[in-house]
Structure 1
Amino acid sequence: MQKSGRPLKSLKQRLKGKEGRVRGNLMGKRVDFSARTVITPDPNLSIDQVGVPRSIAANMTFAEIVTPFNIDRLQELVRRGNSQYPGAKYIIRDNGDRIDLRFHPKPSDLHLQTGYKVERHMCDGDIVIFNRQPTLHKMSMMGHRVRILPWSTFRLNLSVTTPYNADFDGDEMNLHLPQSLETRAEIQELAMVPRMIVTPQSNRPVMGIVQDTLTAVRKFTKRDVFLERVCDPNGSWSWVGKRV
């Protein structure tokens, strides 16, 4: 018995389980440029999109190199500073000097030059890695395109929940924002959701339409369903669902 009154834990009890030494302390670590919150469904998103709360997007940054093609856009983000979204947090000059826009009195007075880096807020179209633990196979971590949305949860298309083994009863997921163009390109070529539809384990699709979408397709294609708003190229003003 311990001094606190709790029974002593054996060596086996200290090692095993989710709260044990191996899984609880040794197999994880703190990382930067990551976020975690509850997931909720959004059937209006594409399967390779993830809805990200604006509050998270305003806290995560990507260092974009200033070029003649993006200097005007980045200059506007610098002018807005860190207090407005979308904006920027830091400017990194080509000599390595770092300017923190959170404490600069007038960010609009700063002028960018080609070669500088601007650590801008996460925005629509950024590539991220999305992960649900336990990470059991390679489809537990996939690449998604960001879509900034209101409220405080990550939004996910229902069809992509199968490989994550996710549901919406309080599950939380992790998001990681890559910090280099090389990493972003690697994710786009190897890890995006459309490239993960067929699992190498059994050479079959691991995701497809589910729930309401499946029901809708069934009802949509029944013989006695007539679609009056779709114009047939042959001149008829209604299609039978069976023809769809």
Structure 2
Amino acid sequence: MKKLTTALLGLLILFSSSCRLLKPSKDMGYDFVATLFNGKVEADGMHYLIKNLDGTIYNSNVVLVDGGPSVDSALGEKIFVFYWANEAYGFFCKKPQKGKPLQILVGDEWKLLNHTESVRVDSTVKFFQRYMYSPKIEKGKESRLINVYLTPREDLSQQFEIRQDSTEIKHFFVREIRGEWMKLQLCIDYSSYFAVCVGALTTEAWEEISKHSESYPIYWIRWRQGTKLLTPLSDFYDKYAYY
């Protein structure tokens, strides 16, 4: 009887562990990004209405015009990304639910935004993979040190510094995002590709560059800590923008 009780207890523990493993991770709102584009523009620009969770209006003056986005003072720096070249805003958001408004993060507050054809939702990793990570050097300085890790955790034995030098700028592909950690891979020197591409590099060129970089070193950085972004968005650039 004692052996049977022990066996049943073991099975119960195993079942409980399996349930914990199968339980989906909580959606903290950082797995997706909603990008607001300059879609069908009216005479006074493209307007987006942001509401509070109770349906009351939070902000009705988010406008995208031909000259670039117009930042309303109520948003300030609470928007996630604000990029002029693409004439777009971006907000972290929860997974879309059919027929329901998107839940977007404005700072650390949840708001509602209608999911129209002018709003595109991507996974956070897909959103970042459009960009290259290339930390900017402060004006007047020659270099900058970047803290990186060999594993996605703050293990001091796995931490070291990479020097971003103004005479030899490093570029990194975003390969994966795992919670608060971002996986980077050093990119090859792709300057020679501009000899055959006019303006921005093509998708095919980037695919080739990415493939040739697959044997290069891999690092991890902590890109956010809770609601705080640790990596300035100015450290990323659009791979398909003109240079």
TM-score, L = length of structure 1: 0.25
More strand by share: 2
Point out which structure has higher relative CO (alpha carbons under 8 A, 6+ apart): 1
